[in-house]
Structure 1
Amino acid sequence: MAIKIMICDDEMDILDVTGMILEDAGYEVIAVSDSLKAEEVFKNEMPDLLLIDLWMPGISGDKIIASLKTNNDFENVPMIVLSASDTARQIAMGCGAVDFIAKPYDIDNLLGVLNNHLHN
């Protein structure tokens, strides 16, 4: 069974490209562009890792992470923020994210960070 990664980003280009990269690397990808549906999709799909943008219309990624982390079923699921904002790193670490990847990202770095958190 493939490792399941959920990507949540309101930028369709980022969602599509990141999804293709992860699928090519052998991951099963769940792509969500609507932050208002992200928590529900996460709970239904139970991914092995969440990769989420911080600044989205509706609900911000830090609020989604903080909410999911209150559920004991999800406390061990790595949640990683993917953002273009320099100030996002501190916010990401403060909400319970395990790591931060800056956009635009290097593909090898992205895969390395994910691999580190999935196989540690």
Structure 2
Amino acid sequence: MNKGKRIMIADDDPGIVDAIEMTLTFEGYDVVTTLTGDTIISMSDNFPDLLLLDVWMSGHDGRDICKLLKMKSETSNIPVIMISASPELKRSATEAGADDFLEKPFNIDELLNKIELLIG
């Protein structure tokens, strides 16, 4: 059911990236990961079907990355779920164009449900 759906995880915490990657791979998604915002900003092809984006990443604010993606015609339709340990950032993430928001630590079933709603 999820075969062929490509999800990019962008978070500067390798432990979070590894845990989410393992789960999504087990669920049948094609997963790519990055620990830096530069990878997302420099994407020019092979775009993911969905992006899991941390709000605070080394050197970059995920909200700025989200705004940039939503402004470009080739990436504006990619659903973005922003994740953060700060629940008060939900509003600013939504204002930046995020399609959804998850507070860390989050329940993996909640993540899977949000992904399914956006790209299922």
TM-score (norm 1): 0.93
- Counterpart CA distance in 2 for 1:9 and 1:114 is 17
- Counterpart CA distance in 2 for 1:43 and 1:49 is 15
- Counterpart CA distance in 1 for 2:9 and 2:81 is 10
SS in 2 for 1:36: helix
List aligned pairs for 1:1-120, cutoff 5 A.
2-40=4-42, 42-119=43-120
- Counterpart CA distance in 2 for 1:4 and 1:47 is 5
Where is the strand percentage greater, Structure 1 or Structure 2?
A: 2
Where is the helix percentage greater, Structure 1 or Structure 2?
A: 1
Sequence identity of aligned pairs in percent? 36
- Counterpart CA distance in 1 for 2:40 and 2:74 is 16
SS in 1 for 2:7: strand
- Counterpart CA distance in 1 for 2:13 and 2:66 is 19
Report the Cα offset of residue 36 of structure 1.
Answer: 2.2
TM-score (norm 2): 0.93
Query: Which runs of 5 or more residues in structure 1 are unaligned?
Result: none
- Counterpart CA distance in 2 for 1:46 and 1:60 is 20
Query: Which runs of 5 or more residues in structure 2 are unaligned?
Result: none
Give the length in aligned residue pairs.
118
Aligned CA RMSD, in angstroms, stands at 1.1
Report the Cα offset of residue 87 of structure 1.
Answer: 1.6
Q: Which amino acid aligns with 1:22?
A: L
The runs of 4+ residues in structure 1 deviating greater than 3 Å are: none
Q: Which amino acid aligns with 1:83?
A: S
- Counterpart CA distance in 1 for 2:21 and 2:62 is 18
